Chains A and B, each alone.
Chain A
Amino acid sequence: MRCPYWYVASQDNLLYRKLSLCTPKCFKKLIILQYRTTLRLILHSQISSIEKQATTATGCPLLIRCKNFQIIQLIIPQERDCHDVYISLIRLARPVKYEELYCFSFNPKLDKEEREQGWKLVGLNEEYNRMGVPNNYWQISDVNRDYQVCDSYPNEVYVPKSATAHIIVGSSKFRSRRRFPALSYYCKDNNASICRSSQPLSGFSARCLEDEQMLQAIRKANPGSNFIYVVDTRPKLNAMANRAAGKGYESEDNYSNIKFQFIGIENIHVMRNSLQKMLEVCELRSPSMSDFLWGLENSGWLKHIKAIMDAGIFIAKAVAEEGVSVLVHCSDGWDRTAQVCSVASLLLDPFYRTMKGFMVLIEKDWVSFGHKFNHRYGNLDGDPKEISPVMDQFIECVWQLMEQFPCAFEFNERFLIHIQHHIYSCQFGNFLCNSQKERRELKIQERTYSLWAHLWKNRADYMNPLYRADHSQTQGTLRPQTAPCNFLYKFWSGMYNRFEKGIHPRQSVTDYLMAVKEETQQLEEELEVLEQRLANLNKVQLYNGKENSKQQDQNTHLGLSIANNSIANTPQDYVNNVKSFPSRSPSQGDEEDSALILTQDNLKSSDPDLSANSDQESGVEDLSCRSPSGGGCLPSEDSGKDPDSDEAVFLTI
């Protein structure tokens, strides 16, 4: 690392600016790139791929693609250095042991008690109680104590009261990976429930009495209905192919009183390729409208999102409108099943549309039921074929719903984006490992911190200003429009082009309204004080009360300070023939988002020359645990004053 400077280009256009040397020390968990007052952190865990590109006159470019859709190009003057960096990053981006992950060294300076409190913020026992179980129909079962029956299930599961341990164990033996039917959501108004499992090992003709009894028990737990839906979220062809391998789906002939339904959501490999294709479209430089729309369509991404939504809508309708219980499964019941159950829950229950409720929902349907976070998001080096954007899709479904029901969610888009970020960041322990069992063995709760506490602490940044607990959209079941609805599903540029600030609306309605609401609150307080003073004044007027004439104009004007205008002030390239990377508009100001953000305030804690900082790790920690800056106070940077910005490229034609 002899070179004094690297150059960096990223989507948000830190275009070929000189960067201070990064010392090898800070390579432990992340790279720090700094330009003047702008710091950029790239967590190694976020690195999705590193590509060495052809050497140019300036140096050797390294293209780093991140899992949070950031793309950064480093240009390192010396070929040898570049190779070193490349090799180190390849290694560091693919840790082999959990202990190497960031969360084990991340320290937000909280004491033990605060850490424990943080983990207690979201509790599933409370949640099941809130749903209304245990009750006459459902009970908690300890059959999976010590994970004896199913190692990817939680140790406590809710099952129908009439399902004995014998039935459960018998059923589990007839299900892939022993994932037997268990309660995901219970609707106390009509006793209908959503249960989840994996596929039955039915092959072409196999039967299992206990499994059939298990489904009967689920039906009986809902006395209002004489059948249950069994929803297989796979395309029919896939499910049939599974029969040859001794797996498959339930036959209506063998199970009494079920209605069987396929909902064609594709498997993780199709989804991975689809995302890949869509990201290629997002990366196109100056694409034409046709390039973009064609690419988007060819990726099939929105079609997949719609399939997941449709499944969720089907289930929510069955539960809320028909009062029929539903058993959902796919193959192993930890990907599509998790997506569909959580979308359905979100539609059914307004609680899950609150900030706390959403955390609970993720804990319930994803974390506790053994969604394989480690495999799906590649936290540890593993089989690349296991990686798939399953949770990303769920998060997008939520965003699509937010677009259709702007008042229905307590949280805003930023909340979703930050959760997505932390699924990959490994900064908090919540999403580590593949199951509850593994997490307990690693003692995650004693050794790492909970993301939920971190988000909760900064909840003011994640509020949807349009949310009101007594608004009609926050009551009852959400009923998205179903026909015709293709055009309701839109490309989410806020996520997939998240780091290209230039293409997003330059003024945020959410931030504006949040500022207004904050001001409103101050006004309410002031009003109270003024009324009080007026009352006092009237009282003491007889005595010529002098004490009342304190400075009254202390805060005469609570002007809204939304620096949203300044970022409006830069033109972009309107000619479409830019040669250099990146393609879009010059710097829009160094707006950032939470975990990656550093503004002037906390620069003090990180000396520009990082090698001079004795305590590397803590310096870094300080930066990363800072509360999100939100969009409300963007540092204003008029590029007109910026000597490095290169605008008006159109004149080079």
Chain B
Amino acid sequence: MEFAELIKTPRADNVVLHRPFYPAVEGTLCLTGHHLILSSRRQDNAEELWLLHSNIDSIEKRFVGSLGTIIIKCKDLRIIQLDIPGMEECLNIASSIEALSTLDSVTLMYPFFYRPMFEVVEDGWRAFLPEREFEHLSSVTNEWRLSYVNKDFSVCPSYPPAVTVPKSIDDEALRRVATFRHGGRFPVLSYYHKKNGMAMMRSSQPLTGTNGRRCKEDSALINATLRAGKRGYIIDTRSLNVAQQARAKGGGFEQEVQYPQWRRIHKSIERYNILQESLIKLVEACNDQSHNMDRWLSKLEASNWLTHIKEILTAACLAAQCIDREGASVLVHGTEGTDSTLQITSLAQIILDPRCRTIRGFEALVEREWLQAGHPFQQRCAQSAYSNSKQKWESPVFFLFLDCVWQILRQFPCSFEFNDQFLILLFEHAYASQFGTFLGNNENERCKLKLPQKTMSLWSWVNRPQELSKFKNPLFEANSLVIWPSVAPQSLQLWEGVFLRWSRSSKFLDEAYEEMNNIIEYNKELQAKVNALRRQLAELETDDGMQESS
């Protein structure tokens, strides 16, 4: 087995583990193909640490005499330290960890080896199929159809086999539109607003180039979503400047002359490594041990993380506003349509659609708007805040989306079925997981890797009642309304649950959460008791009545 070659020292004794909020412990360190395990000689023999190699973002080695120290920085932002006696052991272990945490081949990843210890009630791989989503749609409208034009991924390699498009547009037209859109990502339905029949579509940029190439079928496709005499909005997630520059590379944007029924709005949302650098700076600031208040605020500011949050949320609110308040259809795209576009379309749905604020609905949203929509998870989440690789494709796009959801959740604490732990779970699993859900960059790759057959879905695990209960928001009360978040700087906060998770104790906040839970549980318990007694009384009293009348 190739893992064995990488593990030169599988085991080291008297290793001391330091990590936030716990006293240091001494134990035996073991390396396996996918895990780093430290077990102390505690009575219950429990492992103190069980860390996936794929969760390791970077490692550093230090030596003082023959005592080596490895500092491990994880993708979930945790930093731990291992003191390993013996220089050779330490070096061996460090190089093994380095090799094991940066395996090239997807098929060597842990999800392919993971054997679940739980019973699968519902297979997560089959829980959110486009067909099922479409069934839901066709119960409210018949203006759309499910097209299998991409069934062998030949029209658009990053799209799923089945996409929803206007009924009036045939597959031939779709093929032609695909040649006019970056990466073949022709406009498809992202969200249908039941309330007024307006649609949100998403795509990639049109390939107009410098000479203003046009495509009849393209305008016909998006016009098919418009009501007679109504205008629609195109939200371009790039600034006008960037969009214009894109023409030189064959890209571009929809010109008014060719799309007279559409109004274009440019919103500037950052992408790629700018976001990654922002994350790196923010995490650096959060881990800074200095005591100076000023430095904290200016570092927070300099990271620009909250600026990105504000921009993304603002654009999403704008899209939602066009649909709900203006009664207009919307097309969202940036360049590739796999990053900022998805942030906007998915957040707009959270604002507009109460279904997306339930656990199941949110899972469906992640599945539909991120996984099936072809967000390249494997590239984007290859490294996190401690990486030095600086690859252009590494970018916390999905992480920012989760943070934005957290911001809305914070402003509407009673309108979500899930709590922030659920969002943290998704953040962790997007970066490192025993499940196959976030492997691969699109459905095409997942299909080739046979993930549904060879790995377990995150949803299969999380949707079991015993797991689910941890992620339920006790304050949840179904809210059928559109929820408009505030995007004022005063309303946006640092997501402490993630960024300060390892640098401040959450004991008192956890206690408060528990107290809140108790208050609500007790209320429910009483409610049940009272109802039972009422029923009992009613029965007794009717019995009496019957006895009396007889």
- What is the interface of chain A, defined by CB distance below 8 A to chain B? 282, 286-294, 296-297, 300, 302-303, 306, 404-408, 465-466, 468, 471-473, 481, 483-491, 493, 497, 500, 502-507, 509, 512-513, 516-517, 519-520, 523-524, 526-527, 530-531, 533-534, 537-538, 541, 544-546, 548-549, 552-553, 556, 560, 562, 564-566, 568-572, 574-576, 584-585, 647-648, 650-651, 653
In this assembly, does B24 line the interface, its C-beta being within 8 Å of a C-beta of chain A? no
Can you name 12 A-B pairs with beta carbons within 8 Å? Answer: A293-B300, A303-B294, A485-B291, A486-B290, A487-B503, A491-B490, A503-B486, A537-B544, A568-B483, A571-B482, A572-B488, A585-B484
In this assembly, does B314 line the interface, its C-beta being within 8 Å of a C-beta of chain A? yes
Knowing that A297-B297, A297-B298, A520-B526 touch, tell me 7 more A-B residue pairs with CB under 8 angstroms.
Answer: A291-B489, A406-B511, A506-B483, A509-B475, A527-B526, A545-B544, A546-B544
Contact A534 B540, CB 8 Å, known A288-B489, A289-B310:
yes
In this assembly, does B47 line the interface, its C-beta being within 8 Å of a C-beta of chain A? no
Assembly CA distance A531 to B545 (angstroms): 20
In this assembly, does B493 line the interface, its C-beta being within 8 Å of a C-beta of chain A? yes
Asked if B320 and A503 make an inter-chain contact with CB atoms under 8 angstroms apart, the answer reads no
Asked if A648 and B325 make an inter-chain contact with CB atoms under 8 angstroms apart, the answer reads yes
Which of B325, B496, B538, B544 sits near A544, CB closer than 8 Å? Answer: B544
Closest 7 CB pairs of A and B: A292-B489, A406-B512, A293-B301, A486-B296, A297-B297, A303-B293, A523-B526
Interface magnitude class on chain B: 35 or more
Question: B294-330 interface mask toward A, CB cutoff 8 Å, 1 = contact, 0 = none?
Answer: 1111101100101101100011011011001110000
Question: B505-519 interface mask toward A, CB cutoff 8 Å, 1 = contact, 0 = none?
Answer: 100110110011001
Contact A552 B548, CB 8 Å, known A287-B489, A569-B482:
no
In this assembly, does B288 line the interface, its C-beta being within 8 Å of a C-beta of chain A? yes
Assembly CA distance A653 to B233 (angstroms): 13
In this assembly, does B530 line the interface, its C-beta being within 8 Å of a C-beta of chain A? yes
B 415-443 contacts with A by CB, 8 A: 415
Assembly CA distance A472 to B508 (angstroms): 10
Residue of A nearest to B486 (CB): A503
Q: Within 8 Å CB of A286, what residues of B?
A: 488
Least Cβ distance of A362 to chain B in Å?
A: 24
Asked if A486 and B412 make an inter-chain contact with CB atoms under 8 angstroms apart, the answer reads no
In this assembly, does B537 line the interface, its C-beta being within 8 Å of a C-beta of chain A? yes
In this assembly, does B142 line the interface, its C-beta being within 8 Å of a C-beta of chain A? no
Which of B265, B325, B505, B509 sits near A571, CB closer than 8 Å? Answer: B325
In this assembly, does B12 line the interface, its C-beta being within 8 Å of a C-beta of chain A? no
Assembly CA distance A292 to B523 (angstroms): 41
Assembly CA distance A560 to B520 (angstroms): 12
Asked if B491 and A648 make an inter-chain contact with CB atoms under 8 angstroms apart, the answer reads no
A406, A486, A560, A569 interface centre (most CB from chain B within 10 Å): A486
Q: Within 8 Å CB of A553, what residues of B?
A: 534
Asked if A490 and B504 make an inter-chain contact with CB atoms under 8 angstroms apart, the answer reads no
In this assembly, does B79 line the interface, its C-beta being within 8 Å of a C-beta of chain A? no
Question: B456-493 interface mask toward A, CB cutoff 8 Å, 1 = contact, 0 = none?
Answer: 00000000000000000001010101111011111111
Which of B415, B491, B505 sits near A503, CB closer than 8 Å? Answer: B491
In this assembly, does B245 line the interface, its C-beta being within 8 Å of a C-beta of chain A? no
In this assembly, does B60 line the interface, its C-beta being within 8 Å of a C-beta of chain A? no
Assembly CA distance A493 to B475 (angstroms): 23
In this assembly, does B541 line the interface, its C-beta being within 8 Å of a C-beta of chain A? yes
Asked if A306 and B538 make an inter-chain contact with CB atoms under 8 angstroms apart, the answer reads no
Q: Within 8 Å CB of A544, what residues of B?
A: 544, 547-548
Contact A524 B490, CB 8 Å, known A289-B301, A289-B307, A473-B511:
no
Q: Within 8 Å CB of B301, what residues of A?
A: 289-290, 293-294, 297
Asked if A505 and B411 make an inter-chain contact with CB atoms under 8 angstroms apart, the answer reads yes
Which of A306, A473, A530, A549 sits near B534, CB closer than 8 Å? Answer: A530
Contact A524 B526, CB 8 Å, known A287-B489, A290-B307, A505-B413:
yes
Residue of B nearest to A307 (CB): B293
Asked if A546 and B548 make an inter-chain contact with CB atoms under 8 angstroms apart, the answer reads yes
Q: Within 8 Å CB of A408, what residues of B?
A: 508
Q: Within 8 Å CB of B545, what residues of A?
A: 549
Q: Within 8 Å CB of A572, what residues of B?
A: 317, 484, 486-488
Assembly CA distance A294 to B325 (angstroms): 34
Which of B296, B412, B492 sits near A507, CB closer than 8 Å? Answer: B412
Least Cβ distance of A358 to chain B in Å?
A: 19
Residue of A nearest to B488 (CB): A503
Residue of B nearest to A282 (CB): B490
Q: Within 8 Å CB of B295, what residues of A?
A: 486
Which of B297, B307, B325 sits near A288, CB closer than 8 Å? Answer: B307
Assembly CA distance A306 to B526 (angstroms): 44
Asked if A468 and B326 make an inter-chain contact with CB atoms under 8 angstroms apart, the answer reads no
Question: B273-293 interface mask toward A, CB cutoff 8 Å, 1 = contact, 0 = none?
Answer: 000000000000010111111
Asked if B529 and A568 make an inter-chain contact with CB atoms under 8 angstroms apart, the answer reads no
Least Cβ distance of B525 to chain A in Å?
A: 9
In this assembly, does B22 line the interface, its C-beta being within 8 Å of a C-beta of chain A? no
Q: Within 8 Å CB of A564, what residues of B?
A: 414
In this assembly, does B118 line the interface, its C-beta being within 8 Å of a C-beta of chain A? no
Assembly CA distance A653 to B483 (angstroms): 23
Least Cβ distance of A516 to chain B in Å?
A: 5
Residue of B nearest to A649 (CB): B321
In this assembly, does B173 line the interface, its C-beta being within 8 Å of a C-beta of chain A? no
Assembly CA distance A576 to B318 (angstroms): 11
Residue of B nearest to A548 (CB): B541
B298, B325, B486 interface centre (most CB from chain A within 10 Å): B486
Assembly CA distance A368 to B505 (angstroms): 38
Assembly CA distance A246 to B96 (angstroms): 70
Q: Within 8 Å CB of A486, what residues of B?
A: 290-293, 295-297
In this assembly, does B71 line the interface, its C-beta being within 8 Å of a C-beta of chain A? no
Question: B248-276 interface mask toward A, CB cutoff 8 Å, 1 = contact, 0 = none?
Answer: 00000000000000000100000000000
In this assembly, does B108 line the interface, its C-beta being within 8 Å of a C-beta of chain A? no
Least Cβ distance of B279 to chain A in Å?
A: 15
Asked if B306 and A289 make an inter-chain contact with CB atoms under 8 angstroms apart, the answer reads yes
Assembly CA distance A500 to B486 (angstroms): 11
Q: Within 8 Å CB of B533, what residues of A?
A: 527, 530-531, 534
Residue of B nearest to A507 (CB): B414
Least Cβ distance of A597 to chain B in Å?
A: 22
Q: Within 8 Å CB of B491, what residues of A?
A: 493, 503-505
Assembly CA distance A286 to B500 (angstroms): 28
Assembly CA distance A484 to B296 (angstroms): 10
Which of A404, A520, A549 sits near B522, CB closer than 8 Å? Answer: A520
Assembly CA distance A95 to B107 (angstroms): 80
Least Cβ distance of A36 to chain B in Å?
A: 23
Asked if B541 and A552 make an inter-chain contact with CB atoms under 8 angstroms apart, the answer reads yes
B489, B494, B536 interface centre (most CB from chain A within 10 Å): B489
Which of B320, B488, B496, B511 sits near A407, CB closer than 8 Å? Answer: B511
Residue of B nearest to A533 (CB): B537
B297, B306, B516, B534 interface centre (most CB from chain A within 10 Å): B297
Assembly CA distance A520 to B528 (angstroms): 12
Asked if B530 and A523 make an inter-chain contact with CB atoms under 8 angstroms apart, the answer reads yes
Assembly CA distance A303 to B290 (angstroms): 13
Assembly CA distance A647 to B512 (angstroms): 37
In this assembly, does B527 line the interface, its C-beta being within 8 Å of a C-beta of chain A? yes
Asked if B289 and A293 make an inter-chain contact with CB atoms under 8 angstroms apart, the answer reads no
Asked if B490 and A497 make an inter-chain contact with CB atoms under 8 angstroms apart, the answer reads yes
Asked if B300 and A513 make an inter-chain contact with CB atoms under 8 angstroms apart, the answer reads no
Q: Within 8 Å CB of B548, what residues of A?
A: 544, 546
Asked if B544 and A549 make an inter-chain contact with CB atoms under 8 angstroms apart, the answer reads yes
Contact A506 B412, CB 8 Å, known A485-B504, A493-B491:
yes
Q: Within 8 Å CB of B490, what residues of A?
A: 282, 292, 491, 493, 497, 500, 503
Q: Within 8 Å CB of A517, what residues of B?
A: 519, 523
Asked if A513 and B516 make an inter-chain contact with CB atoms under 8 angstroms apart, the answer reads yes
Assembly CA distance A289 to B493 (angstroms): 10
In this assembly, does B410 line the interface, its C-beta being within 8 Å of a C-beta of chain A? yes
Residue of B nearest to A514 (CB): B519
Asked if A297 and B414 make an inter-chain contact with CB atoms under 8 angstroms apart, the answer reads no
Asked if A484 and B310 make an inter-chain contact with CB atoms under 8 angstroms apart, the answer reads no
Asked if A296 and B297 make an inter-chain contact with CB atoms under 8 angstroms apart, the answer reads yes
Assembly CA distance A471 to B537 (angstroms): 37
